[in-house]
Amino acid sequence: MTDFYLITERELFKRFNSLPQSIQTVLEKEANHQIIEGVCRNHHLIDGEKVLMVKQLTGLVLFGFIHSYDLGREINEALELNNPKLSASIADELSSKVFIPIKDDLENNYS
């Protein structure tokens, strides 16, 4: 699992300013936060702290700190779900609803 506590606010701000506009827009849109909450509800994940963690992990994908392919594993470990299938299903739905529209920019940003 990635140690996210090492990422500083300054580093996030710097990274945000270097992101393509399409990714910045996704990060800023309230509708995307609601999409993430909906994905969590679809998978019976309703604990507020766990939903917040999924939002944070999704944000780290958008910032380029986590590759989208690793999101399922990161969710499983961070939320201590001990359910790789559930975590993969959450990550797949997030991918289709949040990441696919900006896939090329995400790939370029991560590499």
pLDDT digits 0-9 by tens, 1-24: 667 778 888 999 999 999 999 999
In this prediction, residue 108 carries a pLDDT of 86
Cβ partners under 8 Å of residue 109, min gap 6 = 19, 20, 23, 64
Model-level pTM?
0.92
Q: Which residue has the tokens 């996210």?
A: 4
- CA–CA distance, 58 with 55 (Å, rounded to integer): 5
How high does pLDDT run on average in the chain? Answer: 93
Of the candidates 107, 110, 108, 105, which has an alpha carbon nearest to the alpha carbon of residue 23? 105
Q: Please write the tens of the pLDDT for every residue from 21-61.
A: 999 999 999 999 999 999 999 999 999 999 999 999 999 99
As given in the structure block, the two tokens for residue 30 are 């309230």
What would the two tokens of residue 38 be?
């909906």
